[in-house]
Structure 1
Amino acid sequence: MDILKKNLDITNLSNFKTRAFTRYYFELNYINDVDKIIDIVKFSKKNHLKILFVGGGTNILFSFEKFDGIVIKNNLNSWIYDKKNQILESLSGNSISDIASILEKDDEQYLWHRFIGLPGSIGGAVFGNAGCFGLETENNFLEAKVLNLDNGKIEYLSKKQMNFSYRSSILKETGKYFLISVKFDLSKKIEKYPQKVDNIFFRENKQPKGNTCGSFFKNPSKDLSAGYLIEQVGLKGFKLGSAYFSDIHANFLMSDDGGNYKDLLELISLAKTKVKKNHNIDLINEIRIITN
């Protein structure tokens, strides 16, 4: 296809920044580009190619040197806020942190304050039901506009149809939809586990900076963190090749610039093995590992 770029370096499309390339590449820059996804899907099926949609790159680990498929980078980034009715409508490529900051500064809307500093896009947040400090993406969700990749039709999904759960949704479960835009009702404060914490101070002083996608494993429960378990088995600050667990926050998996994905996978496996052996708990990935 003429609209697809070939053999592109995608190292910077994941926050781990492990060296990676893709066979084909396409950027969604305008809403009209969504129509081209249908043709790309047809091309992928005809040639038996996988499609990978990438937003902010804060929830994916590339476990390959070259992706033998099509990477579609989502840059759809306009949004509107109805201040009177407190309804936010956003395309899926926007930064969720940027929107939260602007809502506070320009509209005195503080409901998403805890999302300030949260890495990633609106699309990624909805996809994985991102959350922090008691605030979950699903809390104020109204409706999603999606492209059904199986039939090429535009559909609208309600909160019930999204099947939200801890760090998951129907988008993540099925892989059959591309999220175009989403609506949120910011008129009601809904928190599952309210926490009094200065999230901006916490992110600046308690979370490591570098090549990371944040917490790699899901917390086994609200009272037991994966970071605690990793620290208990002696892996906090532990380094294996170009991969290591932060010495600030043990659940932050980190990578050196241009690191090797194989080092990351080996360290992930080591953590799972040790935690299972010592605590009989299975660590579950929060970050997606992308394979060929």
Structure 2
Amino acid sequence: MVFQDQLQRSIQLQGVPKRIVSLVPSQTELLCDLGLEQSIVGVTKFCVHPNHLIKEKTIVGGTKQVHLDRIAALQPDIILCNKEENTQEIVEACKAIAAVHVSDIFTINDTLELVKMYGDIFSVKEKATAISQAIQVEATGFKEWVQNKPVKNVVYFIWKKPWMVAANNTFINYLLSINNFKNSFGDLSRYPEIALDNDDVTVDYVLLSSEPYPFKEKHKKDLKNFFPNAKICLVDGEMFSWYGSRLIKAFRYFKTLHQDYLH
């Protein structure tokens, strides 16, 4: 059987994969929600949902550095990667071990395409369809709810020392736009380092993500002097950067965020 991934690469499979290595946390969660947990043999140390998984499966490394010998020893039928999360070197090295599927996610439609791909590859089409429909229902409902709220300027921090933000050409930026947020660094690309003395930036909300840097309450004061007129909030980074089945929960979280904190 021949399938395509989201880089339009052809993948040859002998049958439905029974041994899966996932190198992407959000995709690991999606696999479990598709009922494929028993087929997962290897995960990264960041695959924390469901939280029992890293105790039961072989840890093959992180998302940027992996132990190829551990992956090979697991004799996987397929290895699941992501263009942003994993390096091209990792993808190329994994191709010598097993078939590799690479996702490339920027929008909800990209997510829905990935869910369908997994439904086809792993022969779980019914569950994939149910997840896709749930995502679409939640997304539509939230877009209708938020559409009349005023547009607010935001900065979304992902790192400290150096200070780094999510900018354009990212899934985070896409979800910010759905929230009726205007990214104050939207003219930049990807995840740039920024100086905190940029007087040209207008900010209503400063969002401190829980990942990859674990921002806490104590970090708010580090930024208050630079954004004195902005409201500084801690946000769940998984909701803004994990795709797949996490989006079902994400839109509910966004609504709560607006109601409880951003008013």
TM range (shorter): under 0.3
Q: Which has the higher contact order (CA 8 A, sep 6+)?
A: 1
Between Structure 1 and Structure 2, the one with more helix by share is 2
> TM-score of the superposition, structure 2-length normalised?
0.27
Between Structure 1 and Structure 2, the one with more strand by share is 1
